[in-house]
Structure 1
Amino acid sequence: MSTRIPPLADTGLWQAVIAAAAGRCQCRGACGKSHAKNAGRCGREHDGYQQHHGGGTVRLLAAPANPANLLLPPHRVAALPKQALAAWCPTCHDSALAAARRAARAVAPAAPDALFDL
Structure 2
Amino acid sequence: MTDRIPPLAFPDLWQAVMTAAAGRCQCRGTCGKNHTKDGGRCPRTHAGLNHRHGGGTVHLIAAPAEPAALLLPDHQAAALPKQRLAAWCPDCHHRSQAAARKAQRAATPAGEPDGLF
Shift of 1:20: 0.5
Q: TM-score, normalised by structure 2?
A: 0.93
Match of 1:70 in 2: 70
Match of 1:39 in 2: 39
Residue by residue over 1:59-84, the C-alpha shift from the partner in whole angstroms, topping out at 9 and shown as x without a partner, is: 00000100010011111101111000
Give the total of aligned pairs: 116
Superposed, 1:1-118 pairs within 5 Å as: 1-114=1-114, 116=115
Structure 1 residues not aligned, in runs of 5+: none
Task: Kindly report structure 1 stretches of 4+ aligned residues shifted beyond 3 Å.
Answer: none
Structure 2 residues not aligned, in runs of 5+: none
2:63–2:87 contact (8 Å) kept in structure 1: yes
CA RMSD of aligned residues (A): 1.4
Q: TM-score, normalised by structure 1?
A: 0.92
- Percent identity at matched positions? 64
Residue by residue over 1:70-109, the C-alpha shift from the partner in whole angstroms, topping out at 9 and shown as x without a partner, is: 0111111011110000000000000000000000000111
